[in-house]
Structure formats: structure tokens, C-alpha cells
Structure 1
Amino acid sequence: MSLGQELAPHLPFLRRYARALTGSQTHGDQYVRATLEAIVAAPGDFPRDVDARLGLYRTFQAIWSSANIETGPADDSEDDGDPQAIARARLARVTPLSRQALLLTAMEGFTPEDAAFLLDEEPEEIERLVADALAEIERQTHAEVMIIEDEPIIAMDLETIVRDLGHGVTGVAVTRDEAVQLAMQRRPGLVLADIQLADDSSGIDAVKDILAQFSVPVIFITAFPERLLTGERPEPTFLITKPFQRSTVKAAISQALFFDSATVPAM
């Protein structure tokens, strides 16, 4: 198998990484093209002591570093309101090396050891860089959260998790009518909603009523996720299964807020 054939399956994913890193499809693809041109010009320099994917990303990193472009993703202000543009803008505020470490591990799926090889760092340093990147992202995404949950213990647990993440809580509603009333009184930046509520009302209906008034990201929490994951109709983007792990709730909250334009940097 030729080198080109070995690299071909990995090119779409390198483009994904490059676009996320630059914040621009055009700029990202340009650096991928430069990477391929460098490989064609000097195939003997391609690292053959590692697998093809690692070698490809290693070559890209060399092109990226030599170009001195570590000033953050391009400004896509013309895409204001677009979730991907919002994410790129927030990612741009993460320091360059931390951003690369985060993307290589969280998006591209490299181990800390592989990312260390790609970035010429130690694995321990990669883990520190990723932690720094996540902390910066969380700092940028502060919100007031409304909880729709009729089980007191679960509601208290959710409220603790939300506050531990540095967010506020507008209140807890246990029925559809209470949820709508609370949302109108104190507009939330995120909604955590159970499906089955007290008085047999529906958290889904409560959320529909709220979304009819204004846009807000929603995370549903349910013991029956299969009912909302059929793929046959519009369904929630963010869904947590009961019983839940605290880490799962934290990850869902961070992800939902990261792509939402309504959240504001914490002061």
C-alpha cells in the first residue's frame, strides 16, 4: 500500500482538526493542503516509525508551528449567532497550546501519550493543558439555570451540581404550570427538565411552552431515554439518563452552554 493510500482515510479528520484550530474551513484546508504538499515534496522525511495517522498529524503540527499562526482561530464575527461560530470564538480565547491539546484529545481521540508526541510535550503536561482549556471554557459560560424536577432529592442534587460549576439557579419547578410561570418571572440561560412531573404533567410540554416565548438551551433528564432517541422526529440534543452520574450532568451542562449564544463570560 502506498503512503497516499495509507493517509487517505485520515484526511477528513485532519481537516476537522485544522478547521477547529483555525476557526475557518478555508484556512484549515489551506494548512492541510500545505501538509500534503510537504509530504509529496519530501516523502523520505515522513515519520515511518509511527502509524500513518500519527505521522500525518505530526507533519501538520510542524507546518502549523513553522507558520507562526498561533494567534487563535480566525474571527468569524459575520457568523454571529451560529453555534459553530460561537464555539470557535470561545475556543479562540483558550491559549494556543491548551487549545491544541484539548482538540487532539477530546475531538480527535488521541491519548495523552500520542498528543504529547504530536506537541513535543510530556503526557503529564498534556493533561495539565487540557485541564486549563476546560477551566477557561467553563469560565466563559456562566448561566442562570432553571430546574424542572418533582423529586426533591434529585432537585437538590442538581442544584448542588449547578452551583458547584459556578452557575446560578433561578428556581425549581415541579409542574408544567410552575415551570412556565418561573421562566416568565426569571428568564433562565439553561433549563434542566425532567420528563414526568408532579400532577402527571409533562416536562416536554413545559419546555415547549417556554420555547414558544424565547430560545434557551435545554437538557432533558429521564429514566426512559429510548422514548426520546428514536431518530424518527425532532428530538433533544442533550439528554441525561436517570440514575445519572454527577460527571455526566457537568459534561452536558458545559457542552450545552459552550454552543449557546445566550451565555456570558463570568465576571
Structure 2
Amino acid sequence: MSRLTPFEKDLRFVRQFARAVTSDQFLGDEIAAAALSNFDYASLEGLSDRERQVAVFRAFYDAWRSAPAESGVAFSNRSVLAARPFTAEPPRQLVLLVDVIGIDSSKAAALLDIDSDEAKRMLAEERKLIAATQISGAALVVEDEPVIALEVAATLEMIGLDVVATARNAEDAVRLAHQHKPDVVMADYDLGAGRTGLDAVRDITSELPVIAIFLTAYPDDVLSGSDYDPTFILTKPFEERALRAAIVHGLSMPRAGIIK
């Protein structure tokens, strides 16, 4: 894999956040591209890594939040039925940044331009709300290691989901997804020989309106910047709090049908 430039890393981070907020990979990527379409990257020369990332994120964040819902901006990807205005409140944004994406709370506060102490208070309160949220729905686990598959399934069941099937390879994952129509697909990247979990999730999400959560020990291998990156990515070993946050937020968002 080619090494990403600093600017490409910043853009990848913005896309991660947009996907998490919308719970939609294609819509998130389109929103990120639209929000930064007129951004002057030359203005970042000489900034530190942190300053540069904050500057890129703020430009994206402010452009998205200030765009009126009735602007009628059209997105080209046919799997996206409608562009959605920015609706996530700051406490939920903090949870997505800290618990799901995995940055520290002080950096999340800087990105959102929130006082650090206030950000910690918001984060704690939103975590309590998410922990108290009742979850229901069906889940498919895609994992080739039986012991890990059992552990993941047990965690999903404890959270409140009904694990309807487990697949050990990409082909079975696609077949079982069409058979059971799950709400959530929890997939590992490395499925041994053959196609990857990313291949399976790509095929499933092109056909079914599921929430895809990716589990990997190598997030940089998954976040390649190619035409398909997962909506939610959790790094092994994952925390239940992060998984619950991704599921609660994903289930709270409208899931569009698929255009053929």
C-alpha cells in the first residue's frame, strides 16, 4: 500500500467522521467531498499535524453545518437516495469521535471547538444515555475464528441484538445476509484464504440497507482511501462501549433502500 500524505490522512479522517455521523459510507464520502470542494490546501503549509487536522476538520464541519437543508445539493452516487442535513448534537459527535473513531477527548474538544471540561461532561452524559438505550434487531457475524466469533456474538447478544447467523468466509456472509436480512453486520477483515471481510461487506451493503461494523487489528489496511471503506471501524481489541455507541447511533439513523 502506498504511503498516504498528511493531507490525505486528514481527508480520510473527515470521511470517517462523516460516515459515522450519517451511518452511511457513500453519503458520508459525498458530504465530505462537497464540504471541502473549495478548501484551500495551500493555507495548511507550515502548520503542525494537529493544527492542520483541526483546520481541515473545522472547514468541513462548518461548511456542512451551515448548509441549509433545503439547498437541494445533489449527490451523484445512485445508492444515496437523499442528502441529509447535519443533525447530530455535540454530545453524540464527541462519542463518535472518542469512542468509535478512537481519538482522545482533548483533541475531539479542539475539533468541535468545545471547552475541554465541558466536552468531558458532555461525553460522560452521552455515554450514560447510550448505555441506557434499549437495543433490538438482528445481527450477522462474519469471522473465520470460531472462538472469536463466539465472543463477538456473545457481546452482540449482551447488548440486545439477536445473532441470526455466523459466516466464516465472504461467500457464506453474502448468502446468509440475503437469507436473514440482518440490521447489523459485524465483520472481521482477515477471513483467511480467499476474499476478505471487506469484500463481503461491500457486496452486502450494495444490496441491503444494513449497518456495517468492521473489526480489525489493522485499521490502516482497511482505510485505504479506495472507492469503498467501511462505515464504522473498530480496532481489535474493541470495547463494548464503542460497539454499543456505533450500534445505537446506526440504528437511530434512517437507512435508505438500495437503487438498482
Q: Does 1:165 align with 2:159?
A: yes
What is the CA deviation profile of residues 173-195 of structure 1, one whole-angstrom value per residue up to 9, with x for unaligned ones? 11122212211221111111112
Distance 2:170 2:181 in 1: 16
The 3-state SS of whatever aligns with 1:236 is coil
Of all paired residues, the percent bearing the same amino acid is: 28
Given candidates 154, 177, 182, the residue that maps to 2:176 is 182
Corresponding residue of 2:210:
216
User: What SS does the corresponding residue of 2:229 show, helix, strand or coil?
Assistant: coil
**Could you tell me which amino acid in structure 1 is paired with residue 130 of structure 2?**
L
Shift of 1:147: 0.6
Equivalent residue number for residue 250 of structure 2: 256
Q: Give yes or no for contact 1:83–1:260 (8 Å, CA) kept in 2.
A: no
1:133 to 1:103, Cα distance in 2 relative to 1, 3 A: farther
Instruction: Tell me the SS of whatever aligns to 1:253.
Output: helix
Q: How does 1:97-246 map to 2 (within 5 A)?
A: 108=112, 110=114, 113-114=117-118, 129-131=125-127, 133-135=129-131, 138-139=133-134, 142-246=136-240
Looking at structure 1, the residues matched to 151 and 113 of structure 2 have their Cα atoms a distance apart, in angstroms, of 31
Show the counterpart of 1:30: none
Q: Judging by fraction of residues, say which structure has more helix.
A: 1
Kindly indicate whether structure 1 or structure 2 has the higher relative contact order, using CA contacts under 8 Å at least 6 residues apart.
Answer: 2
Give 3-state SS (helix, strand or coil) of 2:237's partner.
coil
TM-score normalized by the length of structure 2: 0.51
Change (3 A) 1:172 1:111: farther
**CA separation in 2, counterparts of 1:210 and 1:114?**
40
Normalized against structure 1, the TM-score is what? 0.50
Post-superposition Cα deviations, 1:3-57, rounded to whole Å, max 9, x if no partner, equal: xxxxxxxxx97xx79x98xxx9669xxxxxxxxxxxxxxxxxxxxxxxxxxxxxx
Alignment length, in residue pairs?
A: 182
Structure 2 residues not aligned, in runs of 5+? 1-56, 70-80, 98-107
Mean alpha-carbon deviation: is it higher for 216-225 or for 204-213?
204-213
How far residue 201 of structure 1 moved from its aligned partner, in angstroms, is: 3.3
- Matched to 2:247, the amino acid is I
- Hey, what does 1:35 align to over in structure 2? none
